[in-house]
Amino acid sequence: MARDPRRRAPRQPDGLDAVYGVHAVTALLEHGQSPSELWVQQGEATSRLADLVAQASERGAVVRYHSREALDGLAQGVAHQGIVAFCAPLTPGNEEALWRDLERWMASQPLLLILDGVTDVHNFGACLRSADAAGVNGVIVPKDKAAPLNATVRKVACGAAESVAVYRVTNLARTMARLKKTGVWITGTTGDADASLYDGDYTGPTAMVMGAEGKGMRRLTRDACDNLVKLPMVGAVSSLNVSVATGVCLFEALRQRQLARA
């Protein structure tokens, strides 16, 4: 007996990234991106997600309704919350955009994150999520030895990939030198630093530099930093996952900034 074509799993649209979940789809729409398609879970979720569906429809998205099993199969373990948007891949900003935006940010003490050699897409997505939560203005990555800004990153970032500006630069050390001339203080993190993270002052224009797991920052990146700090470790492990360490560092900067404004 021939297989009923209606039972075939739906196919993701070619050339588009999938964005999963209420928060990620909301962030997508809030930042002016228009999804090409929106998949919505049939049943109770249809009414619960009516507002998001209406917003996407107004922007020209084709809305399709699928079973929960179909969305589960597409998401492969990612919490889709009954909604998946398909949109054009994200494109990182270039160096020209970085300097233009930095000029605008300098009056408000910007906080930047520099990722040197972070190639794992899950770590990259988690770093973007922490950056968004800590109020980072922009994330700077090198063109080489850096994770792509792809659909998996968007999954892990849960909307942060749409809300945090990412800039891909040709020469990271040269970019850092120009940041310092602009007035940004650059702090690198490394396990062999003498100073603790909590000894630093991050209330002014600041860039935090995180290196790859295992290898850490490259030598030229390390040499381009104004100072180096380490996270105090009192347990049996010698280091943290780079995304966890990023969150710790950024939230120390946020804590200091909030106290300075109080």
Going along the chain from its start, the domains and CATH numbers come out as 13-87 (3.30.1330.30), 95-261 (3.40.1280.10)
**Do 34 and 55 meet the contact criterion of CB atoms below 8 Å apart?**
no
Closest Cα to residue 113, out of 95, 93, 136, 134?
A: 136
User: What is the predicted pLDDT for the residue at 33?
Assistant: 82
User: What is the predicted pLDDT for the residue at 8?
Assistant: 58
Q: What is the pLDDT of residues 30-78, one digit of tens each?
A: 888 889 999 999 987 778 899 999 999 999 999 999 999 999 988 887 7
User: What is the predicted pLDDT for the residue at 11?
Assistant: 83
Percent residues over pLDDT 70 in the chain: 97
Q: What is the pLDDT of residues 198-252, one digit of tens each?
A: 999 999 999 999 998 878 999 999 999 999 999 998 888 877 899 999 999 999 9
What does the DSSP 8-state code read for residue 241?
-
Residue 3 pLDDT more than 50? no
Dist CA 218 CA 190 (whole Å): 11
User: What is the predicted pLDDT for the residue at 1?
Assistant: 42
User: What is the predicted pLDDT for the residue at 9?
Assistant: 62
Q: Is 219 exposed, middle or buried (0-12, 13-18, 19+ CB in 10 A)?
A: exposed
Q: Which residues pair with 207 in a beta bridge?
A: 112, 186
User: The whole model's pTM is what?
Assistant: 0.87
Residue 110 pLDDT more than 50? yes
Beta-strand relationship, 165-169 and 83-87? unpaired
Q: Give the position of tokens 């966890």.
A: 244
Residue 173 pLDDT more than 80? yes
Q: Residues near 128 by Cβ (< 8 Å), separated by ≥ 6?
A: 139, 153, 156, 157, 160, 161, 164, 166
Among 47-56, 72-81, 121-130, 156-165, the minimum mean pLDDT is found in: 72-81
User: What is the predicted pLDDT for the residue at 4?
Assistant: 46
**Do 87 and 162 meet the contact criterion of CB atoms below 8 Å apart?**
no
The more confident residue out of 94 and 5 is 94
